[in-house]
Every structure is written in structure tokens, then in C-alpha cells.
Structure 1
Amino acid sequence: MAPSFQGNCLSTLLGAGGCVAGCTILLVSAFPVLQIVLGALYMGSCPVAPVLPVHVLVSGVGALLLLNLLALPNLLCPSRHTGSLWTLWVMSVGLLYCAWFLYGSYLVYSVYPPQYLDSSTVLGNSTSAPEVHLTQNHTKASPAASSGLHCDRSLYLFAFWTHTIVYAFAGNALVILICLCGFMKISDLVVKYFTS
């Protein structure tokens, strides 16, 4: 007797490959969960860029959504064929996430460097004065410092380094892709040269 469609999906879900994929998804989803927690924890703690905590929170939710859209159908039932409507939905969410990331880049880099407010003052609801950047024995006032606007140090640096690392990975991937395309083109020319 041939196994049923539901039996194939259940055996895949409970198999070793499904377990490895599930553990990988848990590890990959830890960073978006951290984004959600930091965005919620520091909500309202960045007057210089008031949307920055919302951006960090929504980025975490969007990353989890995109991860689930990409991985769950293949994890739960790899033999199921996804239609063009599903592909359109995933591409739409991916493009929206990229646009949100670019908006976040504007938020992060437009106020660089902000006047930092120490995390302990925000979490402890203290009204102490924000920190000022020190460079070469004198203080450097950022444009936000003169207006009294500040941002929580942990939140801002998390958002800053998240965006910077993503751009570094994207740049490296682009260089590797260009090198691979060039190598394939050269190897194709060499093969044509020696076969003709």
C-alpha cells in the first residue's frame, strides 16, 4: 500500500532532517526575538529618533514573519508544491522588509552620533543628564546634543551595528557574486578556446 500524503508530511516532520531544520530555525530566530525585546524595552527612550525603537521591534517581527513564510512550508511538508500566489506573497513581504530596512538605515545614520543616554537612567526612570561624547580631551557636541535630544546607548548601538553588519554581509556577497560570475565567464572562454 502506498503511503498517504499526510503520512509523508508527518514522517518528514518527525525525521532527522526536520529536527535539524527545526533547531536551525530556533537558532536563527533568536536574533529577531532579541530585536523585539529591545524594541519593546526601550520604547520611547530615543527622542532624537522616536521611531527607532518601533523600527527595531517591527524589524524583529518582520524577520520572524519572513523566516516563517520561507521555512515553514518546506519544513512541515516538503513534497507540497507552493503556488505562484504563495511566491508572490513571500516576495511582497520581502520587498516590504527591504524598504523598512532602508528606512531604518535613514533613521540610524541620520542622527549619528547621537547624544547617548545611559541605559540605567532610562530603565531606572532617573532624570540624570545624558552622557556627552569625548574625543581628544574635549567634548564633541553632536547636532542632537545642542537641542537636548538623546538616545539610549544600548538601543542605538544595537540598531547601528545591526545595519552596519547587514551592509557588510551584503557587500561581501556582492563581491563574491561578481567574482564567481567573472570566474565562470573566464572558464567558459577557456573551455571554448581549448575545444575549438
Structure 2
Amino acid sequence: MTRTVEYIFDFAAPNGYLAWYPLKDIVARTGAKLTVTPVFLGGIHKLTGNSPPMMRDADVKGKVPYAALEFQRFLDRHDMTRFSLHPALPFNSILLQRALVAAASEQERQALIDALLPAVWERNIDCGNTDVVGQELSDAGFDAARLLSATQDSDVKEALGANTAHAVERGAFGIPTFFVGGEMWFGKERLGQIEEYLSGGRP
């Protein structure tokens, strides 16, 4: 039976970039199916009382530098040489997330992530500027007018809010979060465990 990996995703999380590419490789190796659920990370933080690690752990001696070391190790291990930490972090990703919700299909949603992740985390575009985002969408072959118009649709706005609330109800508190059936994993460091699970490491 083919298992489905659900990726709870927001462009605003740098770890969301780091996890995306190894996750796609794992899905390909294991024959699993990948689906993406767009959420609003700011909403998850508000609902759970969480905050970005560099803010939450700022007063813990040694923790932020060590997190930076682990982050760089992951980049090096996966040869992610083009990654560039966004100077506006933490930034508002609501426009991009609504565009994901408005995707016409799961295939288009994942294609949008493939196109926009490098724009956000390699070229550091202004994620709230509709002209900039629209140009990125057009350059990648998407119907930018349709997607940008849909970001103002009440149904799209409500769907993003509902996705966010439902993810929190299921236990999510940050990005990247993954679900396989009823099992939840958090963090890019869990990708190896997910591959073991998909490969029959657990019945």
C-alpha cells in the first residue's frame, strides 16, 4: 500500500527550504506519495505560544550558536550551496501561502514550491510585494494574474486559516511538520526516521 507523506508547509521557515529537497528524494526512493498542506506559520505560533528559535532561545547560553552550527551542517551535508538566509526574517508569508492554497491541483502546488523556494531562500525576494511575486510566477510559467487574484478571495483566506487551525489541533507547533497517517514528525532532523518508517521500519 502506498503511504502518503503530508508536509505542513510555510515559505517563511528556512527549515522548510532545507527539508523540501531531501523529502522529495525520500518520497521518490520509497514510492510514497507527497501532499502539501499550506499553513500560516505566524498563526501556528500564535495558537501554540511558540516563536522562532532565534527569539525563543536568545537567552539560553550556547543554544543559538549550536543551532546555527547544526543548520550549517545540514546545508553542507545536502550540498545546498545556494541557500541565503533572508535578511527580512521573520517576514510575512501570507501572500505566498494564499497562492499555494489557490493552486488548481496538488501538482501545481508542488510546482509553485519548486519555483518559489529558490526565489525566497536563494535570491531573497520581497515576499509581500505583489509585483515581485507576480513576476516570479510569470517567469516560472504560472498564471500570475489568476493566482494573485485568488489570494484576495475570501474562500482562500478562510481555507488557509482552517488549514492552520487543523494542523495545530493535530499537534503541529512549527515548520517543518510531517504526517504519515496518524503519525507526526517535526523537524528536518526526523527525515531519516520518516524514510525508515516508509521503508517498513515499523508495521
Question: Could you say which structure has the higher helix fraction?
Answer: 1
Q: Which has the higher contact order (CA 8 A, sep 6+)?
A: 2
Q: TM-score, normalised by structure 1?
A: 0.23
Q: TM-score, normalised by structure 2?
A: 0.23
